[in-house]
Amino acid sequence: MYEKNANPDAKKSTKELKEYFDLYVNFKLKVKEAYQLKLDTLPTITRELKSFQNQLAEQFTKDEEFGEKLLEEAYQRSKYLIKASHILIKVPASASPTDTIVAYQEILKARNEIVKGADFATVAKGYSQDPTVAENNGSLGYFTVFKMVYPFETVAYQLTKGQVSMPFRTGYGYHILKVEDVKMSKGEREVAQILISDTSNSGKQKIDSLYTLLSNGANFTNLAKEFSNDTGSATSGGKLPRFGYGKMISEIEEVAFSIPSELQFSKPFKTRYGWHILQLIKKYPPQSFEEAKPILQRKINASGRAKLSNKALLARLKKKYSIKVFDKAKLVFNKTSIRSIPNDSLQGLLIEINERKIYQEDFKYYIYSRRQTPLAQLFDAFFEESILQYYKDQLFKTNKKFVESFEEYKEGILLFELMNTKVWSKAANDSVGLKAFFDTNKNKYTFKELSEDKTTVLNDYQKHLDKQLIEKLRAKFSVVISDESYKSLLEFYQEK
């Protein structure tokens, strides 16, 4: 506990360790007193602990080894940019098996045409149901990790340049994918821009005149503030948020990453927004794994791939536990009126996970508020959740880290409840006791009146203050102590 809470940069001394040990002993004595008073049985405390237990257990429902693999995979993919085109045949979630087969045959037909030599863009315009195909011929431009749904991204990073994938499915339907190019990531760029939104010849003349001014030494920031039509960036001299590939429109990305040196600017170029000139402010090279790890972890947690870690844990648990599903007990759930069957008729054993027994009634309770999902899907979800719940309930026996975290939290709220019951609430309502305490102890906290003369103040307060305390105060409150500061510093300390 000391190592966990001590300042890692501070020099550890025997005196400091002894002080911490005394605090720790007092803390444990208070926790013991809380148990003797049975504060841990209070309804408010038991509810709070149960809530924390559930939250804490969720942190342990990830397969750590698989999670590390996801991190490493995401980092390796982040090193590369993929340029790809795709064809999509939509398959709704509610599609029948027949409709699904028809969609698969359609996407396979499109692939066969491409493999035989047909132009990908032409085939995409003829087959793809992606609404953007009319304007991009199926091209997705360059993208990197987390820019596409995980199954799509995985196929893209498994192909080499020029390869066409076999049909694969995502939540949108069936896809085929062709990798047009693969190149190393160049990190991120920070740029400023001047935008002239007029796409006519008049706009071209204006951007050319600004380019001439820049070439003759004019200040880019000043010109952006005065002439740029991008109201969001003009006030800051045209500065845009830092970005990598996949965050800006492709024309801006290509130009930004082609400017060789910081503070250089591009020639005018046109997009659907108008005419642009970019100035490179700063290059940000690709991060190391340790630098990128926190950001990648947040993105993994926010994306669907975090669920893959749960599935990996489930697969491991299914092999580890002795699990039985009683098919005869499942038959009753084939009835459409299952929710109307009385509970006393649903006492058959449905699932057994090691020593835990789960009954038909438990499943009925689970499906009660989930009326829109087919029963077969509900049973699969119930089955997996039952395994995970059993795993969570075993954490007290199987995971030392979980137990330590839970006990630390439990002791903390017991200490709070004890102090609230025996000290804070009591003191707030015991005016007689407060007055008696004050009268008994006030002589311990007196200071003589000190002269306001600077030298006298300094000398007198140095007598009353330990030099080590002064140094601690100076470090703690980040102040520079002058002669006049000792008195005010002590007052500030007393207030704290």
pLDDT of residue 471: 66
Answer for the pair 180, 84: CB distance below 8 angstroms, yes or no: yes
Query: Pick from 156, 181, 266, 178: which is nearest to 220 by CA?
Result: 266
Q: Which residue type is seen at 356?
A: R
Any idea what the Cα angle at residue 267 is, between residues 262 and 272, rounded to 5°? 110
Q: Which two tokens stand for residue 156?
A: 């893209």
Q: Which residue type is seen at 340?
A: S
Record: fold of 188-284: Chitinase A; domain 3 (3.10.50)
Answer for the pair 138, 118: CB distance below 8 angstroms, yes or no: no
- Round to whole Å and give the CA distance between 490 and 496: 10
Q: Which two tokens stand for residue 314?
A: 């489930």
Architecture field, domain 80-180: Roll (3.10)
Residue-by-residue DSSP string for 441-490: HGGGG------SSHHHHHHHHHHHS-HHHHHHHHHHHT----TTHHHHHH
pLDDT of residue 250: 85
Task: Delimit the domains of the chain by residue range.
Answer: 2-60+402-429, 80-180, 188-284, 321-395, 447-495
Average pLDDT for consecutive 10-residue bins of the chain (496 residues)? 70 81 94 95 94 88 84 94 95 87 96 96 96 93 91 95 95 95 93 95 95 96 96 94 86 94 96 96 94 91 81 91 93 71 84 94 83 80 93 92 93 94 83 87 71 54 60 60 56 61
Q: Where are the alpha helices (DSSP H) in 116-261?
A: 120-127, 133-136, 150-158, 201-215, 220-227, 231-234, 250-258
Answer for the pair 112, 103: CB distance below 8 angstroms, yes or no: no
Residue-by-residue DSSP string for 362-374: HHHHHHTT-TTS-
pLDDT of residue 351: 95
pLDDT of residue 11: 67
Query: Pick from 168, 172, 193, 331: which is nearest to 270 by CA?
Result: 193
Answer for the pair 178, 165: CB distance below 8 angstroms, yes or no: yes
Answer for the pair 487, 453: CB distance below 8 angstroms, yes or no: no
pLDDT of residue 96: 87
pLDDT of residue 281: 96
Pairing of strands 323-325, 274-284: unpaired
pLDDT of residue 368: 77
- Round to whole Å and give the CA distance between 334 and 279: 67
